[in-house]
Copies of this chain bind each other. A is one copy, B any other.
Amino acid sequence: MRRLRDVGEQAWLARLIARLGRTADGGRVVVGPGDDAAVVRAARRPLLLTTDTLVEDVHFRSTWATPRALGRRAFAVNASDLAAMGGVPRFALLSLEVPPEMSVARLDALTAGFAAAARRAGARLVGGNLARGPHLAVTVALIGEAPGRIVTRAGARAGDLLYVTGALGAAGLAVRRARLAVAPDRVAAGVALARVASAMIDVSDGLVQDVGHVCRASGVGATVELARLPVARPCRRTLGAHAAEFAATAGEDYELVVAIPRRRERRLLALAPRLGCRMTRIGRFDLGPARVQVLGPAGRVVGVGRPGFDHFRR
């Protein structure tokens, strides 16, 4: 097995760049990977910029997934941030910290998984960086565009309805089972939902915590009804009565949480069949203080312990 320290940074990069260079660029990539910087042509509309990192032994363990799946996920969790504003990814930068003993085959599979996920989403891997490190860390920067309306966390108003795409809890359960969940692709749904939403966010750290971000940015309160939560079947089956509470706080689902003004609910319901995922109403925004109240099955406010993940608090 060849390891990175056998091949060297320069040789590995040269091989990767040669491989990436063969992909079609659609005319928007003026200078691709391998120069000091990439040069691209963006459309004449605002750019969306985001970055996120997956760190070994923090976000994942090497035994949890194939390197290809890890590369796909690194793209997907970043694309999710763009989707949550109505954006689509166009250009990607991939920065890798890699231990010298990592095999070349694994690193090739990771970058191939990332580049393929980018291509499927209509984006191009145009640059990156490779550095030695004590563990594997994958940092992605995405440059995107919004085909239509851009939606922030800050537009929710009292009275708006709280919807969520897909189902929750399966990703958190996968982590418990030492596996890496597949992040859903909600980019097309995000673009469509941006037409009717007053605010959006993706569920990364935990639904309750993430809805709390919308509350603080918008200056409104929110109520989430556990009984309405679309809990993923494996989560319901495994956790039974505790499944909804788990799904409300476990995070990692990368579904979209959407605030919908009541007057636009009919437009949302008309859109729904073409979103490629379920849409479930799980609560509402109100005039209360900027925090999230969680209602239990009996309609009473319940505590959920920690509302989501914090990197520095356990």
Residues of chain A touching chain B, judged by Cβ–Cβ distance below 8 Å, are 4-5, 7-10, 12, 30-31, 34-42, 44, 46-53, 55, 57-59, 81-82, 84-85, 87, 91, 93-95, 97, 100, 126-135, 137, 139, 141-144, 146, 150, 152-154, 200-202, 209, 217, 310-313
Contacts and interface: CB of A to CB of B under 8 A. Distances in A.
A49 B35 contact: no
A148 B107 CA distance: 37
Given A36-B201, A201-B36, A51 B141 contact: yes
Given A49-B126, A129-B52, A134-B135, A312 B5 contact: yes
> Assembly of this chain: how many copies?
2
A250 to B, nearest CB: 17
A8 B53 CA distance: 18
A206 to B, nearest CB: 11
B152 A58 contact: no
A5 B47 contact: no
Contact of A50 (B9, B36, B42): B36
Contact of A153 (B35, B44, B47, B84): B35
B51 A127 contact: yes
Contacts of A131: 53, 55, 58-59, 311
A37 B145 CA distance: 11
Contact of A132 (B30, B133, B144, B312): B312
A136 to B, nearest CB: 11
A182 to B, nearest CB: 20
